Structure 1
Amino acid sequence: MKRIERIYSYIETNSKNFTKNKLLEIKGFSAQEIGEKLDILRSNVSRELNTLCRDGKIIKIKNRPVLYFDRSSFEEILSIKLPKELEEISDLDDFVKVDKSIGGEEESPFNYLIGAHTSLKNQIEQAKAALLYPPNGLHTLIIGSTGVGKSLFVNIMYQYSKYIKKLQEDAPFVVFNCADYSNNPQLLLSYIFGHVKGAFTGADKEKEGIVEKADGGILFLDEIHRLPPEGQEMIFYFMDTGTYNKLGETDRHRKANVLLIGATTEDPSSTLLNTFIRRIPITILIPNFEERSMEDKLELIHYLLSKEAQRVNKTIRISAESIKALIGSTSYGNVGQLKSNIQLICATGFLNCMNTDKDIDINLNSLPTNIRDGLLNFENKSKDDGQVWNRVPKLLTIKPDGNRTFIETDGYEPPFNIYNIIEDKAFVLKEEGMSDQDIKKYITTDINVHLKQFYAKFKGDTYRKDGLLKIVDKDIVDFAQEIKALAEERLDKSLNDRFIYAISLHFSALFNRIKKNTVSFSNNIKLTLSTINTKEYEVAKEIHKLIEDRYDIAIPEIEIEYLALLLNSIQELSHQERVGIVVAAHGTSTATSMVAVAKKLFEADNILAVDMPLERTPSDILESVIEKVKQIDEGKGVLLLVDMGSLNTFGETITERTNINVKSIDMVSTALVLEAVRKCSLTDTDLDSVYSYLLTDFRGYTNNIHAENDLGDDNVIVTICSTGKGAAVKLKELVEAVTKNIYISSNVKVIPTGIINLNESIKHISEKHKILALVGITNPNLGIPFISIEELINGAGENVLRNIIEGKLTVSSARGEDQIVLKNLCKQTLMEIVTFINPEKIYPLLDRFVKAIEAYLEVQYDNPTKLRIIFHVACALERMLLNNGLVYDSSESELNPKYVQALREANLIFKEALSISLTDDEIYYIVDAINVC
């Protein structure tokens, strides 16, 4: 055993003796003692002890002499989690004294948090360590999405500090939202540190800052990522020195003892200065609602319903389906969104039993559509876990408990009593002679307006805008915001953020079509004379000119009509018929994920997802799709977006069985789903026009808003095929896959062309671009490097192409390890020959299968042979899924047993990953195929 290992073993063993005996004291071990016990020189012991401290295995306790203790045992005795960066404790007595005063911590404020012993256990340990750290605690950063409860968590930290006597009972707790003054550093400085009289114009008297107010307590900086760099520098200087000066003073003679706690929804590394982050040693991540355990979710629902039952003094009964819908509908807003939804359904339930002795009954039919759809999300996420279903009670009954105390936090409770509003308005409307049914309709709308206004912060707009920036160029989004402000001023009305999302995606797609010269000048938007003669149409003309001036490109006149229609329809509140959308894709959550993005961007309620695990049969899938089509149809037909295979033929079958007009488009992608939702959000759009546009005009989104003529002298690769279309375009995609994986200083573009007038085409291209290579079926012998399709597929050509692009003088014909062309060609072909297998998911397993055979047989197949084997195996796997395997009709005794054994060994890959095994008959056929190869 090494010397350092002997030393650590001694400390660990003796430290654990205290843990086993549950002693609330810690006896450290000095270097002198360890040296004597282990017969090692003291200087050598000290050197190894310092190494163990840096490795985080032991804790150094500053004392005379310096003592050392096992880190894990230290944490276990005190029931805390020390920060990784902590190597030494300066005041052990402070830790021990605090722990003794707490005892078992039965009354700890943290125990009131739902999830204190489950999903928030580690976070609470971190918080305790931060607060316990002598002398005044460690500055802390709380990270989490909107609505997870960051403010509540910080509030509990403050209560805990008083509970353990680290803070006085009247210690200040100051909350400051950094977004309030983020664009005015001088005002921010004044607000944080205060100012003296005459510091600036209007400073007629001295003012204290929030640091001075928080002296002896906690300063909570919410949305800390909104602090400008100047503000961060001011704060971290104060953290370093504990001193500050007011605005207008020159000397930093003022002192304050303040524990800083920040909260952010953003990634600190991308929004905060590194120098600032380094001064905050504790970072606590609060989990999203989706990451919480089922027990936590149910307890949260019970808790929030109890608050409503007590507030309205009525018993609330809620069905299991409603509970599941609440869980499934809580996504971007987390606990805040859940609270909003519960208040909405309780207010609606209260309206139905107002002025009666009846209880509030909540069932699936009484829920709003957006909450009711959450049941589908719950089912999709939990269908593989039967235990989840069993945890949800069939019926939850909650009675008002007037003695129960609830944790309240600023900003979580609405500034009004929704139930008082309902009662007051119902009384007034009744006096005016309105019927009970009309009163309910009127007040239901009012409930939605009140709650939507208050919970606007839980809509996740920041999240959705960040998601939009991953799809659309920031300049386009910024321009869309400028247009929104212009339209609001001209029309004197408020446009919601859906306008920004819709117009940004539309512009991005439009610029992409202009770039590719595929702009459609046909008009499929039905405008009436009353629409044209409106303010919206005049504003649309103004916006049209702004676009042309800003991007210096010609925009079709029909864009004016589209913009006018968008300005008219985006604020339409009444329900009008729209085209419905159903997305169906293979995989356990592929369709759901794409639909979730669309819902977050557009708050769309006319789109549903159908996920199709590989084990589901085609007939079962068809029934699921039909059910969703019926559910989403509003009378204008349904657009069916599918990923591949026979799903594309479902449209006609569904139309025949349901009499609902259904059009289907395959090769679905997130971009296609977003564009479909954007187009179908217009109530004047019909199914045929949406279908035609997506099928022929839409070419995806792009961040490059410049026209093709602006490409200049970019390097290009020309792909050659018989027509310049079809196969040449496919070849273009394969070559692009190679270029995208090679780092080069300038862009390489791929241009497809046909063999007709090939020399003229090459000459024309070379006038504008530098041609690096030609790839295709024939060599025009123009002195330009040429790679045949065969070379590209077998791997040698791909390596040659890499060398050409990278500018290497040596052109090697050796095959590269990472054969991108083989991979992409294989996936593309698999999409055409298999129906129920996802090529993206199955290709890595097929590739491993081939490599396993090569390793067993000690051979190396060329790429065409690999392709044949992969296609044979993929088809065999699909037959296994359908229980429709082939029967080998020849004698297996004639087959090479070594090959048979090689495939059986490789077959284990599918068994382990998919729980699917090829039958011996299928293996025999594949052996035949390999021998033919």
Structure 2
Amino acid sequence: MKRIEKIYNYILKNSKHLTKDDILNYNGFTALQIGKELNILRNNVSKELNILCKNNKVIKIKSKPVIYYPRELFEKVLSIKLKDDIREITNIQALINKKEKIEDQSPFNYLIGHDRSLKNQIEQAKAALMYPPNGLHTLIIGSTGVGKSLFANIMYKYAKYKNRLTKDSPFIVFNCADYSNNPQLLLSHIFGHVKGSFTGADFNTEGIIQKADGGILFLDEIHRLPPEGQEMIFYFMDTGSYNKLGETGRGHKAKVLLIGATTEDPSSTLLNTFMRRIPVIIKIPDFSERTLEDQIELVEFLFRQEAQRINKPIKISAEAVKAFIGSTSYGNAGQLKSNIQLACAKGFLNTLNSGDIININLDLLPSNIKKGIVSFSNNKNNVWNLIPNTITIDPNNDMPFEYIPFENDTYEPPFNIYDTIEKRAGELKDKGMTDEDIKSCITSDINNDLNKFYNNLKRNKNLKEGLLKIVDKDIVDFAEEIKILVEGRLNKALNERFIYAVSLHFSSLFKRLKSKADKLNSYVEIPISTNSKEYKIAKEIHYLMEKRFNLSIPKIEIEYLAIILTSIQDSSIQKRVGIVVAAHGDSTATSMVNVAKKLFETDNILAVDMPLEKKPFDILEEVISKVKQVDEGKGVLLLVDMGSLNSFGDVITERTNIITRSIDMVSTPLVLEAARKCSLYDTDLISVHSYLLKDFRAYTMSSDDDNYINDGVIVTICSTGKGTAIKLKELVDNIINTIADYNITVIPVGVKDVNRSINEILKSNKIIAIVGIINPNLGFPFISIEDLINGTGEAKLKNIIKGKNISYTDKNNIIALETLCKQSLRELVTFLNPEKIYPLLKNFIDFIENSLDIGYKNNKRLSIMTHLACALERVILKNELTYNGKSNPLDKLYFDTLKDANLIFKKALSLELSEDELYYMVDIIKEYQLTDTFNAYVTEIPKN
């Protein structure tokens, strides 16, 4: 009997007893097991089993280890028929699920996790919909991005599937947040209104309650309903009748099933009387609370979406899948989607000029996603075998059954990543840039675009909450309405600063009017044209303000409002000076920029690394690209390492019309100070260039943590010189009072003639900071109203008062190096203690320098230390790098030295870097030694 026949007969004979549970638990036949029983080498068994798979005799299950079943038995036990071209299966349960979905077309069966993480929630929903006679009103709760809107939509489809609703029954969606700043308008949309019920109500209008009659009304963000709206809705729930806005009787009837959704705790945001009318509350779990099977399916689904958009196959490693799952936290499925899009964009870029498969592996992922593998390891036990070594997605296969698991398109960027990549690549290629430089430029562009987009999603939520802590909600709501009005009248978009300035101004104005403590008519006359657009809009706002708040407001306020409109337009966009750091070496500029980004969390600074072999033309094109990218309208500061690069400034300005200024002999302290000035205090290009060139002398260590400025002035800029300044002065005084005794005066000035006012103050005072609605750009540290409100401005102000600077110098500053290194390690490592590992890292580098008779600058020491720490972390995780380069016989001295230094870690931590990791270290220390030697040579060349 042939070997292949013996193997097949053995499998058939011993598989007759297998049940469905055995197959689901992966109790099958392995090559090792068969080899032992039949006394055949394992590799020969594997070879024959693969032939049997190809001939459709057995089916392969990709698990750890790989399992085989007779194909006929597998199909019979699971009651399923496989296509002839299917020879291996990744997930048996998923195969069964899809089969069951085909048999049962219930809309809920199309949801990822319908039989696992969402099983109880689906049972609740079915019970609510089927409860006689008309179903039960339901509230869906859960974090942003978990799929509340999707779940409500599936409930509607299920009601039609079960004939509880007709095929024409409506499903009306309404987001209560859209009109939360105007309760009157909100209630009008829900219930309708009659002509003349409020200003602008020119016709009788039906509300969404009427439109939803006979169907389902889904109220998203239901916690944004005002109390009076909740009362009107629960009366409707009780009686089925309602009145339109402006009516006295309740003469309208409708049969509507209500489904609400909220991210908030309903017990603290909704009336108890309202909650009693909602008997069913369904909690949708966060991504982290879903089963691993759900998480894997969701990852596959999202990659399948991207594969079809790109029209290329995608191959994802198991480690990458774990990193994606472990790094998904605040945004649930939405955050996962954005991370996968970023990875696919990078992978797409790598295969731009070929038809190759896109490989998504751990090396491709940014550090914030890579760290997810640690979280995954900590939270998942004994489930690693559920994730195959690789998952391959074919763009030509049909999409799986599952619906897109998102609330809406909030997490969908307003641009096509892949179109952007192809267009940008074509432009750069036409300019003669190399493929590597093109990849570098585009990767940076995509990173910045996506990071800005998703960071804005996280930031925008907190600003209004900070404002509401100091200003009444009615005033903030009114300010938001005014912002919309002004944008329409002026045909110009305004940012949130308008709302801050107007809210604070109105708040202080109303307090003065109600207390009658200050007479507005005592203010000096403000010369402003009554024919200007701003004056006419201010007049309209004045009328609306009196009507809204039932106050008599002096006419002089129209002029103040006009001044606010003018000044806010000028500063409606907070602009910063951009920074581009260009230095020779493979990672010199990047290292310095990364330190600045970590310290200041800024995005207006970019790096251009210049390997010695790179052509000047390519360098210039890359610098121009970065200048365009970082420019916000206030010019760009170029920090370069050689004087010859200074000549780039004129060429860049000529070609881009972007003003630039250059400083050579760049160092890490110079980059840090430039980032601090340009990011924190919104200065102008000329003043920051002059300061860095003439006055900056690197950072010095302060031995006294309480090094306060004993005399100085903080200027607050507002619209009137009083008004908003009273509120600003309170805020600033409160901040000052929390830190220590002080001798600092807060002086308010009006926006009119602000430069003249500040010059007057300077005659007898030292100005240490300016706080307000506009930045006069006089070179002083500036803190905007929004920064003061959202918390970041408080930290800035405290540092200014204390006179604190970032403690770092580039030469012989051990304390600063230690501080920066520990700070970096806290962000990069999980298992190592930065306090304890730092001395070992220092000893390691000291040993190398002494043994090889070389010396590294502090920025290089910092880079080597962080690489070392990450390498040790990889040892702990058993995830060391594999060295793919070619070792040079001349590297033996370096390698032996590193091997000896490696004993430092072995002795102290019982950890030892692998030879592959050491070879990477050889490349790094050689590169840094070459760069430092080259820089030293350049500095010795006479300038003449």
Give the shorter-chain TM-score range. 0.3 to 0.5
Larger RCO (CA under 8 A, 6+ residues apart): 2
TM-score normalised over the length of structure 1: 0.45
